[in-house]
Structures are given as structure tokens and as C-alpha cells.
């Protein structure tokens, strides 16, 4: 991905955790971690994450490299999501992956007006733009940008809706 190239450019080490065939600490809640010391900077991302979440976590950890390097070790998991530095990294990652102006342009091209975004519009947005931003991330963006209101998409089964609009994904057909 482009993020791997950015990591190489900045000399940021990258690895998935846990490493195959290793024993040791099980960090089930860990999504990612950033380490920086005299030897350099490194990022680990949880191996169990789906691709979309891996990309998001890599972008999130990049913010820590660019802005929070002096903090040392930054662990990103379900216990610290409300920390200001973590919220900043979430916003950075979402903007890096799918900038607000691009979201607005795509929604405009789809004929979606402010305050009128429906779940189907988000599925079309994700499919046509090919963004790796998750549905949860898209929901936050359309709320923030005024295309929907907080709570409009509670209970939506995104993958079921996506399948109803676009059919079964090819990778599922190939698995059978």
C-alpha cells in the first residue's frame, strides 16, 4: 500500500503482531503501537485486523510518528480511545485515507444533499470511490460534514446492505 511506501521513506519499521509461531504476551485488545527511541521508530499492527482496519491503524500510527514521537511508546487499544492524542490520530487517519473535501465531492456526484444521506448512499460511496475507510469511519465523516445526523445509521448491517445492492463479493464466490 501507499502507507508502506511512506513508512519506508521515513524509515519507520513495521511488523504485524503477534509474529507467527511465537509465544509470549497475548495482547488481544491491541490494534497498534508506536515505538520511538534512539534506535529509530517502529510500528506494530495487530495481525487479526481485517485489511481496512490495518490500513486505518497504519495511518493512525503514522500520526504518532509525525506529531507524537517524543511520547515514546504509544499503545492503541480499546482502553485509551478517549485520550486526546488518540482522538487526534483517529481524525488524522480518516482524513489521510479519505479527505473531507473528497467525501463531499463524491457525495455531491452521487446527488446526496446535506442532511439527506441514507445508508444506501454510503454503500454507493464506498463501492464507487473504492475507499478503504470503514463504514464506521464513513458514518463519522457524514455526521461531521452535515450529510447525516448522529444516530441515523444505528443498527445498519452494512455488509448485508452492501450484498443486497451489489451482490455477493467475488472473494466469497471463489472460496466456495
pLDDT by residue for the chain (176 residues), tens only, comes to: 799 999 999 999 999 988 766 555 566 678 899 998 888 999 999 998 999 999 999 999 999 999 988 776 777 777 777 788 889 999 999 999 999 999 999 999 999 999 999 999 999 999 999 999 999 999 999 999 999 999 999 999 999 999 999 998 777 666 66
User: Is residue 45 within 8 Å of 58, Cβ to Cβ?
Assistant: yes
Q: How far apart are CA 75 and CA 35, in angstroms?
A: 9
- The three cell numbers of residue 146 are 452535515
Cα separations in angstroms, 2 against 40, 97, 98: 21, 10, 13
Residues with Cβ within 8 Å of 91's Cβ and at least 6 positions away in sequence, in order, are none
Q: How far apart are CA 49 and CA 34, in angstroms?
A: 16
User: Is residue 60 within 8 Å of 96, Cβ to Cβ?
Assistant: no
Q: How far apart are CA 76 and CA 17, in angstroms?
A: 13
If you search the block for the grid coordinates 463524491, which residue do you land on?
106
What's the pTM? 0.85
Amino acid at each position: 500500500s501507499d502507507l508502506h511506501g511512506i513508512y519506508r521513506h521515513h524509515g519507520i519499521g513495521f511488523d504485524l503482531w503477534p509474529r507467527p509461531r511465537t509465544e509470549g504476551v497475548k495482547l488481544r485488545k491491541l490494534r497498534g503501537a508506536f515505538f520511538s527511541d534512539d534506535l529509530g521508530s517502529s510500528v506494530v499492527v495487530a495481525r487479526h485486523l481485517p485489511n481496512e482496519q490495518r490500513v486505518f491503524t497504519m495511518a493512525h500510527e503514522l500520526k504518532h510518528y509525525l506529531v507524537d514521537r517524543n511520547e515514546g511508546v504509544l499503545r492503541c487499544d480499546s482502553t485509551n480511545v478517549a485520550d486526546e492524542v488518540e482522538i487526534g490520530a483517529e481524525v488524522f487517519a480518516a482524513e489521510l485515507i479519505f479527505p473531507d473535501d473528497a467525501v463531499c465531492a463524491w457525495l455531491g456526484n452521487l446527488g446526496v444533499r446535506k442532511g439527506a444521506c441514507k445508508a444506501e448512499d454510503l454503500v454507493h460511496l464506498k463501492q464507487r470511490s473504492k475507499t478503504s475507510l470503514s463504514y464506521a469511519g464513513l458514518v463519522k465523516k457524514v455526521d461531521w460534514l452535515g450529510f447525516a445526523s448522529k444516530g441515523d445509521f444505528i443498527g445498519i448491517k452494512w455488509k448485508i446492505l452492501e450484498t443486497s445492492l451489489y451482490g455477493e463479493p467475488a472473494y466469497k464466490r471463489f472460496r466456495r
